[in-house]
Amino acid sequence: MITLYVYTMIWRLIRPIIPLILWQRTRKSKELANRRIERYGLIDENVNGLPPHSGRRIWLHGVSVGETVAALRLARALANHLPDHKFLITTNTITGLGVIQAAMADQPGLPVSHVMQPLDHPDFIDQFLANWHPVAAIFMESDFWPNLILRSKQFGIPVIFASSQLSNKAAAKWIKRPAFAKQLFAAADLILPVDSQQADQFRRLIGTAKDAPQIQVVGSLKLPDIQTSDPHLQQTLHKAAANRQVFVAASTHHGEDQIIIDAARMLGAGWLTIIAPRHPQRGDSVAALAGQAPQRSHGAMPDQNETIFIMDSLGEMGTLFNLANYVFLGGSLVPAGGHNPLEPATFGLPILTGPHIFKNSAEFNGLAAADAVFGVRDAKTITAQIHMLEKNPKRRAKLAKSAKDYVTVAHQRVSVAARAIEHVLHKDK
């Protein structure tokens, strides 16, 4: 059975080949050559001009884009509560770095720095902590690196898990290592899970640990930024719809497109179905499935006789949601885990989803309780749910309000989390 000792020993054994691993990752564009030094907990001020020792600094860690967006949102909220603090965000991916760079370009005065996450070798982490001296360590979502967390605790740094959750698969692995799990998760001073089920999960893993962390359910902090609508595009699509109902299949994955195409044909001529693949490069294949339906990427627009349109582009989902009458969220009829339903909920839309929603189950469950989410499994159940709601306009109006109210409350979570974290920092003084 793996223990912290065994885990750390593995890192010490592979230490000689880490430069080779990082070099190979650089060749595959998964690392930046001028940022590899940060993986060792070091910093080159000539590269990014970061002054490690300047001011009280709160460290937030997220693995990639979604977690980084949540970390930025939390950092902004904390800055309102703690204006004398600065913020360091670490990520494990170049895409996460891109999010930080974009935010800093949009807000030049944002008190945020970024470095790549040090690898989980204890020597690298000790170097990182000695460089930055963070006054708190906040780990977003489910990226629990044992040495990163436990060495922070040993340095006397308050440890917080925010927007915390474990997949069923990850939880099952930790259950098989109860002593290791207890050691790791009990190291937290505060855990802010996404829902009560996740709170119970953490309690089971921690058990009866002395000085068990406070657990406060706040909800997911992965709140999407609402994309604005393009008036010209919306007008064009509205004209193409020609008083027809609009069904949007958003972020579809391979294996879902044919189901949506079948549903579009079952809905018939009174509907315009817009398919927006999760990966726009799949647009050609989706269009072929739909009998060479017009594609946004080719400069085409649907006419009044078209029933299917392929929106294979980026950054235009706000326009689609503003136009839609019903939305299907992809990644749910195949085991991709589903996508965040908060953005379509902002528009008061009925949301159809398949059964595979494990990545965003807390949000889907909350919206289902508000009668704004409807389960589907194939083209037949998609059309059946839509027809049912079409016959009940009062229910549609009620769910629209409930969905919008849910999103309004959801956006208060960040402030609640910031206050809870502030309390931990003040208690630590």
**DSSP structure string for 31-71:** S-GGGGGGGGT---HHHH---TTSSEEEEEEESSHHHHHHH
Residue 178 CB neighbours (<10 A): 13
> Using CA atoms, how far apart are residues 113 and 262, in angstroms rounded to an integer?
49
Are 113 and 196 within one domain?
A: yes
> Using CA atoms, how far apart are residues 228 and 89, in angstroms rounded to an integer?
27
Instruction: Confirm whether pTM is higher than 0.85.
Output: yes
Are 263 and 151 within one domain?
A: no
Domain CATH code at residue 392: 3.40.50.2000
User: Domain span at residue 284?
Assistant: 231-410
> Using CA atoms, how far apart are residues 52 and 213, in angstroms rounded to an integer?
29
* CB of 66 closer than 8 Å to CB of 406: no
Strand partners, 277: 252
Are 210 and 248 within one domain?
A: no
* 49 phi-psi bin (left φ>0, alpha ψ -120 to 50, beta other): left
Are 196 and 240 within one domain?
A: no
pLDDT at 385: 97
b/e string for 50-73 if b means 16 or more Cβ within 10 A? beeeeeebbbbbbbbbbbbbbbbb
Are 115 and 73 within one domain?
A: yes
* CB of 162 closer than 8 Å to CB of 421: yes
Tokens of 113: 């720095």
> Using CA atoms, how far apart are residues 380 and 392, in angstroms rounded to an integer?
19
CA atoms within 13 A on the CB side of 376: 31
Tokens of 93: 């991916």
Are 386 and 418 within one domain?
A: no
Are 158 and 257 within one domain?
A: no
Domain CATH code at residue 98: 3.40.50.11720
Are 289 and 170 within one domain?
A: no
* CB of 198 closer than 8 Å to CB of 358: no
Are 54 and 82 within one domain?
A: yes
With H, G, I as helix, E, B as strand and everything else as coil, classify residue 4: helix
The string of pLDDT tens digits covering residues 23-70 is 999 999 999 999 999 999 998 766 555 555 556 899 999 988 889 999
Residue tagged 């982490």 (tokens): 125
Are 41 and 60 within one domain?
A: yes
Please state whether beta strands 85-91 and 56-62 pair in parallel, antiparallel, or not at all (unpaired): parallel
pLDDT at 54: 59
Residue 247 has pLDDT above 60, yes or no: yes
The string of pLDDT tens digits covering residues 178-187 is 999 999 999 9
Please give the residue that has the higher pLDDT: either 52 or 322. 322
Strand partners, 202: none
If one counts the domains in the chain, the total is: 2
